[in-house]
Structure 1
């Protein structure tokens, strides 16, 4: 069964204090390839690898049903700086 945007959104909100979330289905609707941008206070003091491991663990069931998954993870301050650079 393919992963839906709603599945991802629920799992993320159940696992993290979400300040901002973007979910993009990059597979034209079949649910095989998603990219997310996740901003959470839960990432404070964590390196990128640790943040990605946290997301991978929280979404392991959903990710196992995908062909590809990419993520950008930020603390609120990191996201403000990211946006200020014009990304």
Structure 2
């Protein structure tokens, strides 16, 4: 079974993250991802970067809900 730690590791292998938090039950996952790679990109493009980082591993994940932020957006969340 895929764990939240697995999903986090998979994403980080393909995408440099300043912060990542993944929660889930083995099939459904929620992720908060902060990356400089998101700068200048819309939400769809940001999510595509995450899916690209996951690659074929996405087949093991039934559902992935994500919130993506640039470092600046993340800093302004507080």
TM-score (norm 1): 0.78
- Distance (whole Å) between structure 2 residues aligned to residue 20 and residue 42 of structure 1: 12
Q: For residues 9-65 of structure 1, what are the alpha-carbon distances to aligned partners after superposition, in whole Å with 9 as ceiling and x for unaligned?
A: 22122112211111111x3xxx11110000011111111110001111211333211
2:15 is matched with 16
- Distance (whole Å) between structure 2 residues aligned to residue 16 and residue 4 of structure 1: 18
- Higher Rg: 1
Q: Which runs of 5+ in 2 are unaligned?
A: none
1:6 is matched with 5
1:76 is matched with 71
Q: Which runs of 5+ in 1 are unaligned?
A: none
User: After TM superposition, what 4+ stretches of structure 1 lie above 6 angstroms from structure 2?
Assistant: none
Name the SS for the 1:18 alignment partner: coil
Q: How many residues align?
A: 78
- Distance (whole Å) between structure 2 residues aligned to residue 67 and residue 76 of structure 1: 28
TM-score (norm 2): 0.86
CA RMSD of aligned residues (A): 1.4
